[in-house]
Amino acid sequence: MASLGGELSAALAGGRVARIRSARVHDARPLTRLLDAVAAEPEVTLLMLPGQFGAGVWRRRIADTLADPRGLLLVATVDGELAGNLGLHPEAHASSAHVAWLGMSVAREWRGLGLGGALLEAGVSWAADRGIIKVALGVLPGNRRALDFYTHHGFAREGLRTAQYERAGRYYDEVLMARFLGEGP
């Protein structure tokens, strides 16, 4: 079973405390609300559309991740409210078993307070402890805040996939970024 192995606390700007832990099946509804809210923001940062995936889908994804020793799905709560999430999923090809793909979201009201950094570092630490040496991700090029955030946390741009995704009739490029853990290759 893949799990963080407990709960971490992270002090946020403004004096509040975030609790970071592995997602549980009962987090599916709040996770759905979080991701739908982020997907509904005017600046497109997620490929999914609001309402595209219901709580049943997230329940299955949480259960599947908990059953996979190489995957991790974290949630962060502040005052009992689900404020962010992070997923790490292994590369499918056996020759890329040293790579995990990362995706994360933070609710608008919790951005810029240190929550994303705390989630990211918890996930990266977990991955490093399991022998992952590279964490990769994709960001839409218009998401300057995310590009700056990941660069600040040690990720470097590796490439660009042109018109990689279609969302609501519009095509989006994807910037590929990665961070090597430890000394890397």
Query: CB neighbours of 52 closer than 8 A, spacing ≥ 6?
Result: 39
Nearest Cα neighbor of 7 from 24, 16, 20 is 20
Pick the CATH number of 8-180 from 2.60.120.200, 3.40.630.30, 3.30.200.20, 3.40.50.720: 3.40.630.30
pLDDT tens for the chain, residues 1 to 185:
466 778 999 999 989 999 999 999 999 999 999 999 999 998 888 888 899 999 999 999 999 999 988 899 999 999 999 999 999 999 989 999 999 999 999 999 999 999 999 999 999 999 999 999 999 999 999 999 999 999 999 999 999 999 999 888 889 999 999 999 987 66
SS3 40: coil
d(CA 47, CA 117): 22
Going from N- to C-terminal start, the domains of the chain cover 8-180
User: Is the C-alpha dihedral spanning 103, 9, 36, 108 positive or negative?
Assistant: negative
CA angle 69, 178, 20 (to 5 degrees): 50
**Residue 88 near residue 20, CB atoms below 8 Å:** no
